[in-house]
Structure 1
Amino acid sequence: MTRLEFKGALSLHAGDRPLGGPERIELLAAIGETGSISAAARLVGMSYKGAWDAIDAMNNLADEPLVVRAAGGRRGGGTTLTARGQRLVDAFRAVAAEHARYVARLGALDEASSRDLRLMRRFALRTSARNQLAGTVVALAPGEVNDLIELRLPGGQALRVTITRASTEELALAVGVEAIALIKASAVILVPVDDDAADGNRLDGTVVAIHRDAADAEVRLELDGGGVLVAVTPGERIDALQLAEGRPVCAVIDASSVLLGTTG
């Protein structure tokens, strides 16, 4: 399992509106050092126009000007960082230093605490897919266009997923990487546990709840080994399978109906 690494970024706000992050602060600092907007822009890798746009935005949002055009200087004029602007640079750098120490302390957490934080990150994921199953990549079979990824779910069952090669690379998937499988409830097909004819992933479980309306039914399964899966199926399918709470059932899911996500 890849060890969790902590990174962070600071941003500056005026009320609910963002002033910017470290790049804009460094622009202010460079103006203070050079007294020239063009020289400061070169130092921080901005265009001249981009630098002035950033300065205008910060001046408009700040409680008082951070940068002013000054008379005199080379070519008849210059740019000056105000005392307020310098205080802002100093304050941001102090906060950034404390933030770096905080991130370093997070990085020193023991493995148990790191697992807890990974779990918190999963909780923050919002998606329209009803089912979210965490797993670990245990096999990856590359193809010319699509790759076949196999996840091992916490209960030990396997879930195979077909995604494009580009998606595999974008998600940096490899054996040992943790991933989250997203499955729409309507993509889960319920069959008897002894039905070997259905193609696709087969996850065995036990019915724990059935909620019906006039047309469809929502079935909650407790998967063997742990975890919950929800299926939405026509009501007549429930009757045909004679499903009821406590009865075993098999959930069949096509590999192409599963989306993968990572929190890295």
Structure 2
Amino acid sequence: MTTRESLELGGSVWLKSGAETLGGAGRIALLAAIRDTGSITAAAKAVGMSYKAAWDAVDTMNNLAGERLVVTASGGRGGGTTLTPAASRLIETYRAVEREHRKFLQHVGAAIDGFAHDWQLIGKLGMKTNARNQLAGKVTKVTRGAVNDEIELGLLGGQTIVAVVTHESTEALGLKQGSDAFALIKASWVMLMEDTSAKLSARNQLRGTVSNVTKGAVNAEVNLTLDDSTTITAIITNQSADTLGLAAGQKAVAVIKASSVIIGVND
């Protein structure tokens, strides 16, 4: 007889400045490490971030806060780094909110059956992006390259999609095997072809069944069902749709270059 592991409710807190994210757990941890070490280099190492990614994060926070949060004795990017009073308040405010947020999740998780799964789904549904295709999955492999990294994402239905991202993006997003992530792909970046064994240079070839074809004046919107829960949309010309003879029920392949896939995570 097997026993099922109990589910634990999880969540994260982030502070916003207007429509932009000022800081989440990663950025607040970086600020705290700067406070404790007095050095950007040491702080970046402590939180597992590159020196460049750390300064990019600091610059972003300074810009969004409308005031300096981190200062150096020389005015440059060297040693003697300290936090301003505003940054210290930001850390304490974040931690206070995070404590209350944790209490909230514990209370609601105990009161509502199945809340852990539903809460995660609500977060995904609330994400706003101009990319038509949003595919959720888990990172199955991270391959370091000379310039960029290859991120392999296992989709819910069993197929795999590969993205090429910079080293800095891999670190900033905390991408590693087993972590949750999602792929964003604009519909205009998706090419369609017949379901054959043709060899292509494009890394991603997702197989599915055409569920709908909607033609406009010039272009057609084609929905390709990959599995019970995943659909990918492509925008192609009417001429291409006619040439391929695309219709509901037909097998087809969505072809996507790895460089056209954007990887994101829920902070």
Larger radius of gyration: 1
Per-residue deviation, residues 80-125 of structure 1 (Å, max 9, x unmatched) = xxxxxxxxxxxxxx99986663244357789953232111111111
Aligned partner of 1:245 in structure 2 is: 248
Aligned partner of 1:80 in structure 2 is: none
Which of residues 8, 11, 17 in structure 2 aligns to 1:6?
11
Which of residues 186, 192, 197 in structure 1 aligns to 2:188?
186
Residue 162, structure 1, aligned to residue 167, structure 2? no
Aligned partner of 1:57 in structure 2 is: none
Which of residues 119, 122, 125 in structure 2 aligns to 1:123?
125
**Letter of the 1:235 counterpart:** N
Do the aligned residues in 2 keep the contact of 1:135 with 1:180 (CA within 8 Å)?
A: yes
Aligned partner of 2:224 in structure 1 is: 221
Matches within 5 A, 1:97-112: 101-105=103-107, 112=114
TM-score by length of 1: 0.62
State the SS of the aligned residue for 1:230.
strand
Describe the shift of the 1:140–1:110 C-alpha distance in structure 2 as closer, same or farther (beyond 3 A).
farther
Matches within 5 A, 1:120-159: 120-159=122-161
State the SS of the aligned residue for 2:239.
helix
Query: What is the CA-CA distance between 1:196 and the residue it aligns to?
Result: 1.4
- Matched residues in 2 for 1:155 and 1:115: separation? 18
Query: What is the CA-CA distance between 1:166 and the residue it aligns to?
Result: 0.4
Do the aligned residues in 2 keep the contact of 1:206 with 1:247 (CA within 8 Å)?
A: yes
> Cα RMSD between the aligned structures?
3.2
Describe the shift of the 1:162–1:110 C-alpha distance in structure 2 as closer, same or farther (beyond 3 A).
farther
Aligned partner of 1:172 in structure 2 is: 174
Aligned partner of 2:211 in structure 1 is: 208
Structure 1: gaps of 5 or more residues: 12-44, 55-93
Aligned partner of 1:259 in structure 2 is: 262
Query: What is the CA-CA distance between 1:199 and the residue it aligns to?
Result: 2.5
Do the aligned residues in 1 keep the contact of 2:109 with 2:115 (CA within 8 Å)?
A: no
Per-residue deviation, residues 2-50 of structure 1 (Å, max 9, x unmatched) = x764344799xxxxxxxxxxxxxxxxxxxxxxxxxxxxxxxxx755xx7
- Matched residues in 2 for 1:237 and 1:105: separation? 54
State the SS of the aligned residue for 2:122.
helix
Aligned partner of 2:69 in structure 1 is: none
Query: What is the CA-CA distance between 1:235 and the residue it aligns to?
Result: 0.8
State the SS of the aligned residue for 1:147.
strand
- Matched residues in 1 for 2:12 and 2:239: separation? 51
Query: What is the CA-CA distance between 1:128 and the residue it aligns to?
Result: 0.4
- Matched residues in 2 for 1:168 and 1:250: separation? 28
Query: What is the CA-CA distance between 1:245 and the residue it aligns to?
Result: 0.9
Q: How many residues align?
A: 187
TM-score by length of 2: 0.62
**Letter of the 2:200 counterpart:** A
